[in-house]
Amino acid sequence: MNERDSETIAGLLIDMGLNRTERKETADLVIINTCSVRDNADQRFFGTLGQVKKIKEANSRLIVGVCGCMMQQEHVVDEVKAKYPWVDIVFGTHNIHMLPELLRGAAIEKKKRVEVWEEGGEIIEGLPARREFPFKAYVNVMYGCDNFCTYCIVPYTRGRERSRKPDEILSEARGLARNGVKEIMLLGQNVNSYKGIDEGGAVDFPELIYRLNEISGLRRIRFMTSHPKDLSKRLAAAYRDCEKLCKVIHLPVQSGSSRVLALMNRNYTKEYYLDMIGLLRGICPNIAVTTDIIVGFPGEGDEDFEETLELAEQVKFDSAFTFLFSARKGTPAASYEAQVSEEEKRRRFNRLLASLNGIAAEKNKTYIGRRESLLVEGAGKTGENVMAGRMDNGKLVNFVGAPELTGEFVDVRITEAKTFSLFGELTYCSTD
Q: Of residues 189, 192, 290, 308, which one binds ligand SAH by CB under 6 A?
A: 189
Report the residue number, 187 or 397, with the smaller CB distance to ligand SAH.
187
Using CA atoms, how far residue 136 sits from 20, 173, 177, 221, in Å, is 21, 11, 9, 10
Distance, CA of 40 to CA of 63 (rounded, Å): 25
Which of 174, 170, 148 shows the shortest CA–CA distance to 159?
148
| Minimum separation from the CB atom of position 71 to ligand SF4 (A) | 18
CB contact at 8 A, 330 and 154 = no
| Minimum separation from the CB atom of position 322 to ligand SAH (A) | 8
| Minimum separation from the CB atom of position 10 to ligand SF4 (A) | 24
Beta-carbon-side half-sphere exposure of residue 419 (alpha carbons within 13 Å)? 8
Phi, psi of 149 (to 5 degrees): -60, 140
Q: Of residues 292, 306, 313, 411, which one binds ligand SAH by CB under 6 A?
A: 292
Amino acid at residue number 179: N
Tell me, residue by residue from 143 to 172, as one string, x for binding to ligand SF4 by CB under 6 A and - for no binding.
Answer: --x-xxx--x-xx-----------------
Report the residue number, 86 or 148, with the smaller CB distance to ligand SF4.
148
- Judged by beta carbon distances under 5 to 8 A according to partner kind, the member of ligand SAH, ligand SF4, none in contact with residue 325 is ligand SAH
| Minimum separation from the CB atom of position 331 to ligand SAH (A) | 7
- Judged by beta carbon distances under 5 to 8 A according to partner kind, the member of ligand SF4, ligand SAH, none in contact with residue 425 is none
Locate the DSSP E strands across 201-312. 201-204, 220-224, 248-250, 288-295
Q: Give CA torsion, residues 128, 131, 136, 139, to 10 deg.
A: -40
Residues 133-172 that bind ligand SAH (CB under 6 A): 151-152, 154
User: Should residue 72 be labelled a site residue for ligand SF4 when binding is judged by CB under 6 A?
Assistant: no
Residues 230-269 that bind ligand SAH (CB under 6 A): 252, 254
Which of 239, 252, 221 shows the shortest CA–CA distance to 282?
239
- Order of strands, sheet of 288-295, starting from the edge strand that comes earlier in the sequence: 248-250, 288-295, 319-324
| Minimum separation from the CB atom of position 391 to ligand SF4 (A) | 26
Locate the DSSP E strands across 267-350. 288-295, 319-324
Phi, psi of 223 (to 5 degrees): -150, 155
Binding residues with ligand SAH: total (CB under 6 A):
17
Q: Of residues 34, 36, 255, 326, which one binds ligand SAH by CB under 6 A?
A: 326
Cα-trace Rg, the chain:
23
Stretch that binds ligand SAH, among 87-95, 112-120, 235-243, 318-326 (CB under 6 A): 318-326
Phi, psi of 371 (to 5 degrees): -100, 130
| Minimum separation from the CB atom of position 266 to ligand SF4 (A) | 7
User: Should residue 34 be labelled a site residue for ligand SAH when binding is judged by CB under 6 A?
Assistant: no
CB contact at 8 A, 254 and 261 = yes
Q: Of residues 35, 37, 77, 208, which one binds ligand SAH by CB under 6 A?
A: 37
Report the residue number, 281 or 329, with the smaller CB distance to ligand SF4.
329
Q: Report the first-to-last Cα separation within the chain, whole angstroms.
A: 30
Helix, strand, coil shares of the chain, percent, nearest 5, are 40, 25, 35
Q: Of residues 94, 211, 219, 227, which one binds ligand SF4 by CB under 6 A?
A: 227
User: Should residue 140 be labelled a site residue for ligand SF4 when binding is judged by CB under 6 A?
Assistant: no
Residues 184-223 that bind ligand SF4 (CB under 6 A): 189-190
- Judged by beta carbon distances under 5 to 8 A according to partner kind, the member of ligand SF4, ligand SAH, none in contact with residue 91 is none
Residues lying near ligand SF4 in the complex (CB under 6 A): 145, 147-149, 152, 154-155, 189-190, 227
Residues lying near ligand SAH in the complex (CB under 6 A): 37-38, 151-152, 154, 189-190, 225, 227, 252, 254, 292, 294, 323, 325-326, 328
